[in-house]
Structure 1
């Protein structure tokens, strides 16, 4: 038991957070960081207590200022932004966390946590989450390409091989040879189209050779032929000011949004708009389909994985991304980039 008290005391005293423990209005104990803040920044524990008192009363004003009622019946903890040394050139930003330790004994703590540290931890957690997401997205894409190669390309080539073996080994008439040769040729033509289609999905050469707007028109024509759904591309945006990275992202957004509309929305018409203004460029993909509830698709699932991917790609290049949709009222996907930032040819 004594050893436990020792390491608990060490943890309390060496914490990077400043911790003050009160009973009623009296300060019982404080750790080393709290003592340093009190000495160096002249932080008065009673001032912190008054800030906590005021914040609690504001939050639970329905109790008519009954502070003890709040402690006994409602309060568990409360977080309040707090700035220390705000009159200096480098003010210190904290979160003051008020926590009830023992309601009956009126024992509570006030902890000062550095907002900078918390923000860095949040950023690290977000980065780890994004890394897991990207790894998952890449793995799903590899699975899709693998399935396409096996189910379509490999099967087409294997079928052509069987036909060639038959040409070599079978005793066929001229008419049969001609017919079989035509079958093999058609099979190889279909396989070649599949390969070209996969190449366009992975990286369209027209995007590199002619720019974003022609690439969007080629994409729309190809998907329109395959689906029978009207897909119109409009706009006269000058995409020469866009970096290759931004053009690639905008192309992928259009590709993902159109495919989502075709697969999930039962759309009869899809419009792609690419317009620029003095300081920014906007891509919009508008469909007249079923629509969906956007918040319910913001977690990781089959459909929202692509939506999150679009959002993260845009944010990585200092753009903004938005999805507006309602059930039975279509969907509009919008990406917006500041032109001033695009002229520097970003690469991330």
Structure 2
């Protein structure tokens, strides 16, 4: 038991966060780093207690001004930003975290956590979450492609194979052979069209060969012909200096935005603007459709990556993403990336 207590004490003293434990507002114990802060930075534990007291009063002023009562009745933990040694050349920025240990005896801890460390941990957590999302999105895309291959491409090829077998195995008249050959050719042409469409959806060659703006124009022309909706592309942006990742994401945003406007918005006109400014490039997709309530649609499109989830990919490339829409007022999708254009 004594050895266990020594381990706990060693762990408590070696903790990198400053921990102070109070009972009924009196300091009863603190770890090594908390002692160092008191000696070096001249931090008074009662000052930290007063900071926590004030924060609780502000947050729970509707109850009463009693610190102990507010804590006991309403919360187990509270976090308050605090800056120590403000007058020095290098102020110390922390989060002051209150944590209730024993409600009946009003024993609680105040912990000073370095804000820089917490920010870095949050960034790492967000990056892990983004990686998990991207992996899931890629898997969903693979499933969609597999389904398209099975439902459309494989069926078309199988139908052509059956036709070729008939040519080799059945006794057919000249007219029957001509008709069957025509059907097989038609089936293979349809399958080829499907394959080309899938290739365009995955990544159009014009994007690699000619750049973003021509690729958007080809996309708009193809979707306009298929849907009958007027889709125009206007822009003055030279995108040669954009990275491949940024161009790919901007193209996907245009693709997703147009597809969503066609599927859900009942739009009669869609305008795409690609504009280069001195320090950023901006893509806007504007439709005159029925619009929607943005906060209620966290997953705007369940198929492919989805427009709303594009936000994560854009942030990973230091861009910004915004959707403006209201029922009856159309939708505007905007993506902006900081760039240095020559």
Q: Do the structures match in fold with TM over 0.5?
A: yes
From the superposition, tell whether residues 121 and 153 of structure 1 become closer, same or farther in structure 2 (CA, over 3 Å): same
**Runs of at least 5 residues in structure 2 that lack an aligned partner in the other structure:** none
Return the offset for 1:76: 3.9
Change (3 A) 1:123 1:301: farther
TM-score (norm 2): 0.90
Going from structure 1 to structure 2, the CA distance change for 1:4 and 1:324 (only over 3 Å counts) comes to: farther
Q: Structure 1 residue 62: deviation in Å?
A: 4.3
C-alpha change, 1:245 and 1:179, in structure 2 (3 Å) is same
| Counterpart residue number, 1:346 | none
* 1:262 counterpart residue number: 262
With structure 1 as the length reference, what TM-score do the two structures score? 0.88
Distance in 2 (alpha carbons) for counterparts of 1:255 and 1:36 = 58
Task: Determine the structure 1 residue equivalent to 2:247.
Answer: 247
Separation (CA, whole Å) in 2 of partners of 1:153 and 1:223: 21
Structure 1 equivalent of residue 90 of structure 2: 90
Question: Is the Cα contact below 8 Å between 2:141 and 2:305 reproduced in 1?
Answer: no
Corresponding residue number in structure 1 for 2:141: 141
Unaligned runs of 5+ in 1: 344-348
Moved more, 143-152 or 45-54: 45-54
Partner of 1:131: 131
TM-aligned CA deviation for residue 90 of structure 1: 2.9
Aligned length: 342
The within-5 A match list for 1:178-217 is 178-217=178-217
1:180: Cα distance to partner? Answer: 1.0
Distance change in 2, residues 1:315/1:37 (3 Å)? same
Query: Any residues of structure 2 matched to 1:267-346 within 5 Å, and which?
Result: 267-298=267-298, 302=302, 305-340=305-340
Return the offset for 1:283.
0.7
CA distance in 1, matches of 2:276, 2:301: 33
Deviation at 1:179, TM superposition (A): 1.0
Instruction: Give the equivalent residue in structure 1 for 2:100.
Output: 100
Higher mean displacement: 13-22 or 56-65:
56-65
Shift in Å, 1:193: 0.8
Distance change >3 Å, CA 73–CA 246, structure 1 → 2: closer
Aligned to 1:173: 173
Q: Aligned pair in 2 of structure 1 residues 241, 195: CA closer, same or farther (>3 Å)?
A: same
Please list the CA deviations of residues 60-82 of structure 1 after superposition, one character each: whole Å capped at 9, or x if unmatched.
Answer: 44456444543454454322111
Contact 1:229 1:269 in 2 (8 A): yes
Equivalent-residue separation in structure 1 for 2:105 and 2:115 (angstroms)? 30
- The residue number in structure 1 matching 2:50 is 50
Name the residue aligned to 1:31: 31
Distance 1:257 1:301, change over 3 A: closer
3-state SS of the aligned residue for 1:306? Answer: coil
CA distance in 1, matches of 2:126, 2:258: 28
Q: Deviations over 1:263-312 (max 9, x none)?
A: 23332322211122233221111122333332333369826952244212
Cα deviation, residue 204, structure 1: 0.7
Q: 1:302 to 1:20 in 2, by over 3 A?
A: same
Q: CA deviation at 1:27?
A: 1.0
CA RMSD of aligned residues (A): 2.5
CA contact (8 A) 1:298 1:304 kept: no
**Cα deviation, residue 235, structure 1:** 2.5
